[in-house]
Amino acid sequence: MEIPLGEWVNVFITWLVRNYGDFFESLSNALLQFILAFEGFFRSLSWPWVAGVAALLGWLFTRRVFFALGMGFAVWLIEALGLWDKGMQTLALVLASVVISVALGLPLGILMGRSDRFRTLMLPILDAMQTMPSFVYLIPALLLFGLGKVPALIATVIYAVPPMIRLTDLGLRLVSREVVEAAEAFGATSWQRLFKVELPLALPNLMAGVNQTTMMALAMVVIASMIGARGLGEEVLLGIQRLDVGRGAEAGVAIVALAIVMDRLTQAAGQRVMRRYREEA
């Protein structure tokens, strides 16, 4: 017996486009303006400003001179390779995706942490999302939103949001039951317990979720160049299409430099937040 899954999916997508085309067009316009706001800001910055900010953040988070210099050097390397504008396009799309992913993942993770029934429903969905080949996400985004930045953003958010959901849920479930009961004994409401007790104690996992979401967003943005996302991924794709190894290598090094900056700064920020929280506690 053959299951016509592909046919069912095509019928469903066609039904969505016919009945909700106006909604998807409005959503696409709103998301495009959101992306362009990020892109316009970052593309207006010169590399010395960004390198200085990266170095300053590195110093503030770690108090290590060589770490700060390394962050500044990685930013300069993107400029030295002649890929500054492409790099800022990629950075803008990654950060826009991370903002949406955190905005979606945090409340969903809180719901999972609070409700076993909702968690049971979400776990197989998250498992499927994380085992699905990343290229598969490009197809529905392309069909519903066409080519360009918006489908790249949608595909990136879907790919990057599961770690934020999972680690928020994990962080809340690792909070000591005795601490929660003590807060309840002092008359804390459920909202006060969440924002003043559980979320602060779950901060290590929340920051790890932001870090993982950022890295997955960067990986997906590169792949999304296949459906019209501009930036460093486009350079890699052109290198493949034209068998230009040098062009692909330059873009690859720039992607690595950008990944190092984003990964190390988000990790250092998480560690800094935890140190301050422990000092205040």
SS3 208: helix
Instruction: Give domain status of residue 49, yes or no.
Output: no
Alpha-helix runs per DSSP H in 63-202: 65-80, 84-114, 116-131, 138-145, 149-173, 177-185, 190-193, 199-201
pLDDT for 281: 59
Encoded amino acid at 235, one letter: E
CATH number where 182 lies: 1.10.3720.10
The residues, any chain, with a CB within 8 Å of residue 87's CB and separated by 6 or more, are 78, 231, 232, 254, 258
Instruction: Give domain status of residue 116, yes or no.
Output: yes
The model's pTM is 0.88
Instruction: Give domain status of residue 62, yes or no.
Output: no
pLDDT for 213: 93
Which domain covers residue 224, as residue numbers?
A: 5-44+81-280
Q: Which two tokens stand for residue 65?
A: 């001179």
Instruction: Give domain status of residue 57, yes or no.
Output: no
Q: Which two tokens stand for residue 253?
A: 């090094």
Helices vs. strands in the chain: H and E counts, helices first = 13, 0
CA-to-CA distance for 217 and 91, rounded, in angstroms?
10
184 and 193 Cβ atoms separated by less than 8 Å: yes
Question: Residue 193: how many CA atoms within 13 Å on its side-chain side?
Answer: 19
Encode the chain (281 residues) as per-residue pLDDT tens digits. 678 887 888 888 888 888 888 888 888 899 999 999 999 998 898 999 999 999 999 999 888 999 999 999 999 999 999 999 999 999 999 999 999 999 999 999 999 988 889 999 999 999 988 888 888 888 888 888 888 889 999 999 999 999 999 999 999 988 888 888 888 888 878 888 888 888 888 888 898 899 999 999 988 888 888 887 888 888 888 888 888 889 889 999 999 999 999 999 988 888 887 777 666 65
Number of domains in the chain: 1
Instruction: Give domain status of residue 187, yes or no.
Output: yes
Q: Which helix (H) or strand (E) holds 243?
A: none
Q: Most distant CA pair in the chain: distance in Å?
A: 67
